[in-house]
Amino acid sequence: MTKPKHHVLLCASFRMNGMPQGVCAKGGAGQLAQRLQEDLADRGLADVAVSCTSCLGICDRGPALVVYPENWWFGHIDSEEAVDAVIDSIEAGSPAPEYLVT
Ligand code: FES
């Protein structure tokens, strides 16, 4: 196994009891993970991993994710345009400001 160059940590709203609740799950985080993986593959970005996490603590901006090692926090990733903006950010090496959580 080779380590990914980038790691997308996508909030799946899991709480300590294991139940998926909260803004990100209700906002389609499950489908978002699949969409991200498919679009990354379509663009040939095999060095980007996607993992689902528990709550990131920015629920009011969900669905939310973080890109490492850049430490870019993105919110309101709830559309095709938003997913494209995240992947564009990774490719360009510069975060899309319209979704960036500062
Ligand atoms: S539920 Fe996603 S950040 Fe809290």
Q: Say yes or no: CB of residue 56 within 6 Å of ligand 1.
A: yes
Q: What percent of the chain has pLDDT over 90?
A: 75
Q: Is residue 22 part of a domain?
A: yes
CATH number of the domain enclosing 69: 3.40.30.10
C-beta neighbour count of 38 within 10 angstroms: 11
64 lines ligand 1 (CB under 6 A): yes
Task: Answer yes or no: is pLDDT of 31 > 60.
Answer: yes
Indicate left, alpha or beta for 91 from its phi (over 0: left) and psi (-120 to 50: alpha): alpha
Q: Whose CA is nearest to atom 1 of ligand 1?
A: 13
What's residue 37's pLDDT? 95
Q: Tell me how far the alpha carbon of residue 6 lies from the centroid of ligand 1, in angstroms.
A: 21
State the total domains in the chain.
1
Provide the residue range defining the domain that includes 16. Answer: 6-92
Task: Report if residue 100 sits inside a domain.
Answer: no
Whole-structure pTM value: 0.91
